[in-house]
Chain A
Amino acid sequence: MPNKSKQMSPINTQTSDKKRHFSGLLFVGLAILLIVTIVFSICLGRYPLSVTDILSYLFTGKSSDQMLPTVLINVRLPRIIGAVLVGGALSISGAAYQGLFRNPMVSPDILGVSSGAGFGASIAIMLSFSMLGIQAMAFGMGLSAVFLALSVSKVIGKNHDKILMLVLSGMVTAAIFNALVSLMKYLADSDTKLPDITFWLMGTLSRITMEDIKVVLPVVVIGALPIFLLGWRLNVLSFGDEEAKTLGVNTGFVRFIIICCASLITASVVCVVGLIGWVGLIIPHFARFLVGPNYKVLLPASFLSGSIFILWVDDIARSATTLEIPIGILISLIGAPLFLLFLKKSSKKAW
């Protein structure tokens, strides 16, 4: 028997190497696809730009087209950087939460961050706050909702399964905040405030400015870094809280950091673009299908795929009809059938 296994091992090493090689190529492919998509998205729009004009402007600082700098810097770039950040951030936090809750059906809203943000934004709109005020309220209430869910699960669930208590507390928190959002809509002036609230809740990338990017980008980087660094611990958590503990993981610490960071990056993008669902649920699935469940490769693959997906959908949202379609609606319309198609494709593979 020992001889047999020795003969087997070189073959096995080869397949592992092949796998690594394959996922390396895949990342190169995803990165190229992202760059191509970005360039395409920059050129696309009501005011079309050509690649050569953009390049000559970038290198010489001059442009024959007087409108080009304005369109590029003030309109296209913030929106495209924003799309990359939104898609990436939601996908990363979705992937992290799925590992943490050991359930591939979990999305970044599981602890009520979106419902909280929606409520914060509704109040701010009711009180006629500025755009900055609305964003600040959405961000603050989003994080407060998560904090509330965490506290409730701590107080109530002393002797219960911690993960189950977290999920239930999150559901309760989300239900409360959704009810409060409905209350705000009910109370809102139906001519002025109600349309604003409804439109905010649908989600759109059209509001993003360069100023937003300057705030959101560092927050997403700061929030995503610990998630990447804790990737191996997230892997081990797949076996459950108790087993992870016996393998040497300080599960309470890891859970706390992941929840804080994932909520932070979700809240930071949601407060700017409004509620965008589905991405955080389906993209991690897709990435897991591409590169496997190991967080070391799953997180970067999720970020890249999420960015590409949002860019595509946003391209459709702003160019399909003369009136821009809110991206939240499109993502569900496109994402849901795509998800089913992909489930059918991947059903032969284990997950």
Chain B
Amino acid sequence: MILEIKNGVLGYGHDTVLSNINLKLEMGETVCLLGKNGSGKTTLFKVLLGILKPFSGTILLNGISIDHWNRRQFAQLVGYIPQARSLPFPFSVLDVVLFGRTAHLGTFTFPRKKDHIIAEECLEMLNISHLKDRIFTQLSGGEQQMVIVARALAQQPAFLIMDEPTSSLDFGNQIKIIKQINSLKNKSLGILMATHSPDHAFMCDANVAILHQKTIWKYGYSNDVITEDILKTIYGVEVKVCTMPSEDVTARRVCVPTV
């Protein structure tokens, strides 16, 4: 199965944010989306999720235009972890994770025993079972983020679109999320992730799409695309890209900014 966008021109009102967008996400691969603040990462996600209509171009899921999918069928295959969230009512963590089961429920039904079991498994998978009965709005930003990841897992999608999933997490939880992303990739999920840390692309052994000058400026395997020149061009700072010793489990490239 493939999620792709062809010849997309995207924006709001009269403002074009991105043009000539072609991107393909296959199952079992991770694609990291890099680009500075305001480069259009979230806009691209909204269009891929069918929340925002593109000015032109088509979005295909499994070869079928997104217009022909209803929301429930689409959500069974594509999950989303948004960047910011607000919840006006004091739902429990378990309820929030159960929200992820909505796509698998009939329009007029409530979650059943089976859905509760899946939700609890997802909490367990992320080692946050102890949060189950807590009130979601009273959790720290990082804990909320983990719960939202659990919610996305409960959705059991084929593709997962993540808008900076590590942004509010402490160092340990960031690494846990990266590990989780890698294990989901091994379970043949296709993951599209926006991140501000080029290192994440190395850690996830990902392909990289760079949004720059209103289009996908570069696309390719992380080791090929993330170079010192390119990082300097998009972020405007000096960065050294080094390789860690190769006999080690940490063998991969790292970005070291010069300050």
Contact = CB atoms under 8 A, between A and B. Distances in A.
A230 B110 CA distance: 9
Interface stretch (B70-78, B195-203, B234-242): B70-78
Contacts of B70: 250
Given A9-B120, A235-B99, A246-B80, A16 B89 contact: no
A interface: dominant SS:
helix
Interface in B48-84: 49-51, 70-72, 74-76, 78-80, 82
A242 B46 contact: yes
A243 B76 contact: no
B71 A245 contact: yes
Contact of A239 (B51, B71, B87, B104): B87
A9 B94 CA distance: 12
Interface stretch (B26-34, B129-137, B246-254): B129-137
B88 A102 contact: yes
Residue among B85, B90, B104 with max Cβ neighbours from chain A (10 Å): B90
Nearest to B116: A16
A258 to B, nearest CB: 13
B74 A248 contact: yes
Given A235-B95, A238-B88, A243-B85, A1 B127 contact: yes
A16 B132 contact: yes
Contacts of A293: 89-91, 95
A336 B76 CA distance: 45
Contacts of A15: 133
B113 to A, nearest CB: 12
A245 B102 CA distance: 10
Given A240-B86, A245-B71, A250-B71, A232 B135 contact: no
Contacts of B100: 247
A12 B90 contact: no
A47 interface: no
B51 A246 contact: yes
B130 A5 contact: yes
Given A5-B129, A12-B133, A232 B102 contact: yes
A2 interface: yes
A5 B86 contact: no
Interface string A1-39: 110111011001001100100000000000000000000
Contacts of A12: 129-130, 132-133
A349 B99 CA distance: 23
Interface of B: 12-13, 46, 49-51, 70-72, 74-76, 78-80, 82, 85-92, 94-95, 99-100, 102-105, 107-111, 120, 124, 127-130, 132-133, 135, 137-138, 151, 155
18 contacts: A5-B128, A232-B105, A232-B111, A233-B102, A236-B102, A242-B51, A245-B50, A245-B75, A246-B49, A246-B78, A246-B79, A246-B82, A247-B75, A248-B75, A288-B90, A292-B90, A296-B110, A350-B137
